[in-house]
Amino acid sequence: MNTIFKHIKGDRTIWSIVAVLAIFSFMPVYSASTNLVYVVGSGSTIGYLIKHMILLIMGFVIIYGVHKVPYRYFSGGSILLLPVVVLLLIYTLSQGTTIGGANASRWIRIPFVGVGFQTSTLAGLILMVYVARYLAKNKERVIEFKESLWQLWLPVAMVLILILPANFSTTAIIFMMVLLLVFIGGYPLKQIGYVLGMGVIVLSLFILTAKAFPDAMPNRVATWQSRIESFSTSDGVEGYQVTKAKIAIATGGLTGKGPGKSVQKNFLPQSSSDFIYAIIVEEYGVIGAFLVVFVYFLLLFRILIAAKKATTIFASLLVIGVGLPIVFQGIINMMVAVNILPVTGQTLPLISSGGTSIWMTCFALGMILSVSASKDETEETILDDNPLDILHEAID
């Protein structure tokens, strides 16, 4: 055990939280997967559990590998990867595959692995690192709005516009996280207002265009509209899911029905992913529900501690930029399950079954642990790194 701890650096509490969430996820995923087996008729419960365990093990490998990389490499790496991400988003948007008749242009399939890859999760991660780099690089001078339009907001807009047609909720989350990060990073509040206004205008134009040319972007605006209507009326597919989630939560009581004894998992279509929190409440009760919330807020607290202890501006902004979306996504998932928000399709980090969502969460956690494990560095050393030099070092 001491040998293992010797190679693990960074905030030990964050490591413990990740381990607790991962281990706890086994039982809810195993229990909720019966819906896929007996209702959908796909696979076996043991098969889904093994797949989930393998994804989490690979996730821990990602955390370990990333946390060993000096965090200054992420600065230049964001510049190298941003064009790659844009190309991946264009490809993902254009390939237009469908899953069960639904638009699934947010996914591409990884060859030889058989796992779907949601490129928007990678894009959001790289974009937050890029924004953190920009803010740290310009910390000592007054930011000109016209200049930041090209250097900061144009890349942000490109990424968000490419994600928007297939995934509005992810677009909205990334946009809000970018605005929060630039606010924390000292970007002028008045200019943030300008950007917010432009975002509303672009979204309005997109909706009008989609309404005018429905064949160009089939089902997207209609899907958003139906989710909002279902949220208020409890009708439709989304309304059915929310109703079943409410029943699961209402019958959970204080201590729950017990592990694996959920009834609503057999009726809730997304019981192992989007609505897994409702199954947790049904099986573990209010006590289990509050413990899950407590663990996520403990993670938030440790992320803020890591940001405060960071030795450079870039490190602090990096931790906040990649860390807050994890907790924010978890809060959104739980709010959807209890019918505070419309259905968004956001998973519960490290608990819901999934593929790339788990891996990208682990990649972000690896970055945070890399910062918390780092020794003193100067801001100039980090931000003056030539991305090509970083690439050469990686190759060597």
What's residue 99's pLDDT? 45
User: Which residue did the predictor score with more confidence, 207 or 330?
Assistant: 330
- The per-residue pLDDT for range 205-243, each reduced to its tens digit, is 888 877 776 665 655 555 655 666 555 555 555 667 778
What's residue 103's pLDDT? 45
Asked if residue 395 has pLDDT above 50, the reply is no
SS (H, E, C) the chain: CHHHHHHCCCCHHHHHHHHHHHHHHHHHHHHHCHHHHHHCCCCCHHHHHHHHHHHHHHHHHHHHHHHCCCCHHHHHHHHHHHHHHHHHHHHHHHHCCEECCEECCCEEECCCCCCEEEHHHHHHHHHHHHHHHHHHHCCCCCCCHHHHHHHHHHHHHHHHHHHCCCCHHHHHHHHHHHHHHHHHCCCCHHHHHHHHHHHHHHHHHHHHHHHHCCCCCCCHHHHHHHHHHHHHHCCHHHHHHHHHHHHHHHCCCCCCCCCCCCCHHHCCCCCCCCCHHHHHHHHHHHHHHHHHHHHHHHHHHHHHHHHHHCCCHHHHHHHHHHHHHHHHHHHHHHHHHCCCCCCCCCCCCCCCCCCHHHHHHHHHHHHHHHHHHCCCCCHHHHHCCCHHHHHHHHHC
% of the chain with per-residue pLDDT over 70: 78
Distances in Å between the Cα of 89 and the Cα atoms of 163, 190, 283, 323 are: 7, 31, 39, 23
User: Which residue did the predictor score with more confidence, 261 or 233?
Assistant: 261
User: Which residue did the predictor score with more confidence, 39 or 102?
Assistant: 39
Least confident of 102-116, 147-161, 229-243, 321-335: 102-116
Question: pLDDT band for position 284 (50/70/90)?
Answer: very high
- The per-residue pLDDT for range 104-138, each reduced to its tens digit, is 456 666 655 556 678 888 999 999 999 999 999 88
What's residue 105's pLDDT? 54
Asked if residue 72 has pLDDT above 70, the reply is yes
- The per-residue pLDDT for range 365-382, each reduced to its tens digit, is 999 999 998 865 555 555
Phi then psi for residue 8, to 5 deg, are -100, 120
